[in-house]
Amino acid sequence: MARRYDSRTTIFSPEGRLYQIEYAMEAISHAGTVLGILAKDGVVLAAEKKVTGKLLDLSGAKDGGYGGSGEKIFLLNSNAIAGTAGLTADANSLINFARSAAQNHLLLYNEDIPVELLCQRLCDMKQGYTQFGGLRPFGVSLLYAGWDPHYQWQLYHSDPSGNYSGWKATSIGSNNGTCSDLILRTMSKTMDSTTLGSEKLEFAIMSLDKEGKPKAKIFKPSEIDALLESEGLAKKDEDTEMKS
């Protein structure tokens, strides 16, 4: 029965389902996990990277930019960051749209865009891709973390249908059902790898600086390794394991 209704995003099945959106959600369920935790003094995002080839050139992520590998966690604006799970190409398109929306708001009103409004802008566009023919839903979910003077620290989640909601802690991607109640120390239980390192993880936090302005910090690989080592979670060197 599904084959008669899954060829178009604009056709409802007799049960009231849009199969193309469900297929997009299925693609997201195979992506690396992204975990977001909202606190009183900031927001933390942690992400599992899937592209971990030994021949992959990560010199740009290590030496330049604002941190991160450009795969899972992105800087949207000075007051907002986002973690993505799903198709990276679709995520790049949405990230660029969000950055443009944030800069347009800054140009018009001379203030950072409210986090929920930024989420709404993206969700309005994503909803349009489920309503008009010749388009397909974006195969990516996002976690938005940010601060604004209206609602202080905020954490939002949006899916391919254009729905969004606020959370105190949530996750997207693979193992999202079991990851919602986990903290960073137990994150390794839901990952494909038994060791934690910068090749498998991305970290980002948002907090207020000394002047009371929101500041995003996306950790570079060397900083991630140092953080894991300080918490006793760093992976062991392969040569050391062989000797022992």
Q: What is the 3-state secondary structure (H, E, C) of 96-163?
A: HHHHHHHHHHHHHHCCCCCHHHHHHHHHHHHHHCCCCCCCCCCCEEEEEEEEECCCEEEEEEECCCCC
User: CA angle at residue 177 from 232 to 203, to 5 degrees?
Assistant: 40
pLDDT attached to residue 201? 80
pTM: 0.79
**Is the CA virtual torsion 220, 47, 126, 156 positive or negative?**
negative
- Six-digit token string for 170: 């949530």
pLDDT attached to residue 204? 87
pLDDT attached to residue 70? 67
**Is the CA virtual torsion 57, 63, 66, 67 positive or negative?**
positive
| Gyration radius (Cα) of the chain, Å | 19
Low-confidence ranges of the chain (pLDDT < 70): 1-9, 51-53, 58-70, 177-195, 235-244
- Six-digit token string for 10: 């604009």
pLDDT attached to residue 8? 67
pLDDT attached to residue 240? 41
Cα dist from 234 to 36, 154, 179, 200, 224, whole Å: 21, 30, 20, 11, 9
